[in-house]
A and B are shown apart, each in its own frame.
Chain A
Amino acid sequence: MNNLKEIINNYFDNELNKSEEIMLFTQLSQNEKAREYFKEMNLLRTIVDETETEFPDNLDARIFNSIKTKQEAPIKSYTASKILSYISYLFAIILLALSLFFYSESKKYQDKLEITEFKIQKQTEMIQVLFNTLPQAEVKGEIDNAIIVTPKM
């Protein structure tokens, strides 16, 4: 009987194959106790089915709203990343403008320096020319040996 009860349990749990089912129903037709147990199992299943609760509609809405919120999140982050990239582009442009400005400024100073160098060179040459125009200096000694000092330019 215990073995038959186990088979009945398996039947209610959908764990029997077709041939086992045929064997079970043959046994049930011959065994009154087994039939009784089968009825009890059937009653238990009916009562358990009656205790099932319907899934609440508000929970459906709650779950799908949460999913909707999750789906919208990547779009928001996409927009945020776009804004971030615009800011970085702007920053790069500002940096480029600043570097161009400083480059042009340094170029101006370089030109000024070259002009000043040229002027100094010219002035040095002028000083030399002026120096050459001066008369030759002659020094005569009072003793017998004459010492003549001639400037070499």
Chain B
Amino acid sequence: MSFKKEQKGLNTNNDKIIEFTLIYNRYKKRLYNYLLKLSGDEMITEDIIQNVFLKLYDNYSMKSKNPESINYWLFKSARNEYYNYYNKNKRKTTIDTLLENDKTEKYEIENALELKELKKLIMRELDNMDFEQREIYLLKEYGGLNYKEISETMDIEVGLVKSRLYKVRQKLIDKISKIIKQ
């Protein structure tokens, strides 16, 4: 390998790692939260996140991928990985463990206790919901995907995404309202 070729290879590698890091920082938190709420397990979430980002790094080509397709690809791959795992292990989601391990006690409001209760309530309600409804909600709220992206990720109609999302929110609002009014 000549010096010029080696230099060119290094530059391409550097460009690749820079581009990858930008994408990684943009999507990591959303993907992590989506998977964490979906699986209810930090270890599984971390393993899936690692696999997905390594796959992205391997298949990443700056010319062929645009931000929209990366967004779609990341969530679709993470979802597939999770379902593969889920089908193998048939593990029940445990939101309680998730809440116990929640280290983000960042809110400093007066009704912190109430907010904690509401958080627990929301997570429990989501846990008890239909899988499809819950997943749409997680993709929307934690994944930050738009209606079209959710419909493509889940292979369903945009109208169905909107109606399911509406129903989930309605259920959650009803539950919250009961707590607030008490």
Query: Chain A interface (Cβ within 8 Å of chain B)?
Result: 5-6, 9, 13-15, 37, 40-41, 43-45, 47-48, 50-56, 59-60, 62-63, 66-67, 70-71, 78
Contacts and interface: CB of A to CB of B under 8 A. Distances in A.
Interface in B1-43: 1, 13, 17, 20, 24, 28-29, 32-33, 36-37, 42
Contacts, number: 88
Interface stretch (B63-71, B81-89, B99-107): B99-107
B154 interface: no
B115 A5 contact: no
A9 B49 CA distance: 30
A59 B35 CA distance: 14
B17 A67 contact: yes
B176 A9 contact: no
B110 interface: no
Contacts of A63: 24, 49-50, 53-54
Contacts of A53: 32-33, 36, 102-104
A70 B53 CA distance: 13
Interface of B is mostly: helix
B132 interface: no
Given A53-B33, A63-B54, A70-B58, A44 B173 contact: yes
B146 A62 contact: no
A56 B104 CA distance: 11
